[in-house]
Amino acid sequence: MNVMTLPRLIDLEDKTFDPFVVEKLATGDAEDPYPLIHELQAKGSVHKGGYRELFTDLPDTLHALNQYMVFNYDTLLRVLTDAETFGNRDAFMHTLGRSFGRTVSVMDAPEHTRFRKIFQQAFLPQTVAKWGASVVDPVVTDLMSGFIGRGEADLVEEFTHHYPFQVIYRQLQLDREQAPIFHKLAIAQILTSLDLPQGFEAAAKLGVFFQALLDQRRAEPGDDLISHLATVEADGERLPDEVLISFLRQLMNAGGDTTYRGTSALLTGLLMNPDQLEAVRADRSLVPQAIDEALRWEGPVLTTIRYVRREVELDGVLLPEGAILNMILGSANRDPTKFKDPDRFDIFRDRTVRHLGFASGPHVCIGQHLARVEMTRAVNALLDRLPNLRLDPSKPPPKLLGHKLRVPDHIYVKFDA
């Protein structure tokens, strides 16, 4: 594929608008929501009210709707796996649907089942395993070359905040020059949740760009993700452009932002617990359980939403049709009846109960195999190539912040150069 022929991405009109600063406001204003989560969890599983309203001072696009919050593991699992009673479409059309359009998160069956089946073909475990060596490793090596000889680094600023996005650029075979605008627009589009005009402008500009890219890759197919998605099929059916474009809009946030935050949580958990870091360094077969523990302890998607499709009673609370449920996945993952000493990061804990960091049911994360491949490759490379990796004692330790999409601002480390 000739990169010279790539369609051009157009930046936001207001060049002074910095979506990264605004995004921080939208996701990062709660230091630690878990004490309040535990308090409410102890009082009952289902509470009236909206999560954003209770935990932040931010405007809420769901404020006019009848909202409830769900806190306990068993109740959350019941809702997530009963898509006939609890749907996605009429909930997400007020949030993600505003920027992404007709994507799988905003669909209910039978439409969701039909399209999800096709997308799943593109993200099968055997397919994404191949991307480990061809796509993830070169990105990891390239980023590490920026600090490997220095003996110290900020792993957020110099590594985690970049690698999953660069993996996406490589998968899409995007022009390097356009990458910063792409990242900026992808973050800006989610700001539709704050009703900012730049959010709608960014979503529209990405839509025009993706349509041009799709047309081009269909005419000149390569082995990149867009060419693959444009031709993948299930039961003889392909994805319509509108659905594909909405998916691509969602990819940076669903795949990039979550993996950046998840990897930062994993590194924080390990570095803050040097005995566990040491155990993983010595025995890499522990990496998968360390990843699962990070996604349980500080899963990046702390809450999601559903709507009530028909009046139903849930744990003694009568929910009217149309009500919005704030599903506090982070609360399920710290439910003390399921996880002993739930606030503790412990890679050796009993794993009989599955965490809900990737949710469950028909909308369970489509990219979970890819996320695991990326996180495994990243943590192994850091442990292999940064001998004696440890927190920098002269700098503040990492602290996860945010009420919804949590991440530390910095992870300052030292290692033997």
For residues 214 and 366, which CB has a smaller minimum distance to ligand HEM in the complex? 366
Q: How far apart are CA 88 and CA 105, in angstroms?
A: 7
Length of the chain: 417
User: Is there a contact between 54 and 328 (Cβ–Cβ < 8 Å)?
Assistant: no
The residue among 280 and 370 lying less far from ligand HEM, judged by its C-beta, is 370
Q: Which is nearer to ligand HEM, 255 or 398 (CB)?
A: 255
Query: Shortest Cβ distance from residue 128 to ligand HEM (Å)?
Result: 9
- Three-state SS for 178? helix
Shortest CB 111 distance to ligand HEM, Å: 11
Q: How far is the CB of 130 from ligand HEM (least distance, A)?
A: 15
Whole-number Cα distances in Å, 161 to 1, 140, 155, 325: 28, 12, 8, 31
Q: Nearer Cβ to ligand HEM, position 103 or 198?
A: 103
How far apart are CB 283 and ligand HEM at their closest, in Å?
A: 22
Nearer to ligand HEM, 91 or 389 (CB): 91
Give the per-residue SS3 of 44-103. Answer: CCEEECCHHHHHCCCCCCCCCCCEEEECCHHHHHHHHHCCCCEECHHHHCCCHHHHHCCC
Q: Which run of H or of E encompasses 306?
A: strand 304-308
Question: Rounded CA gap, 301 and 406, in Å?
Answer: 8
Of the pair 270, 365, the CB lying nearest ligand HEM is at 365
CA dist 283 and 40 (Å) reads: 39
Q: Applying CB under 6 A, which residues contact ligand HEM? A: 104-105, 116, 123, 250-251, 254-255, 258-259, 262, 295, 299-301, 304, 357-359, 363, 365-367, 370-371
Least Å distance, CB 6 to ligand HEM, is 22
Find the shortest distance in angstroms from Cβ 116 to ligand HEM. 5
C-beta of 12 vs 80, nearer to ligand HEM? 80
CA distance 390 to 416: 10
3-state SS, residue 313: strand
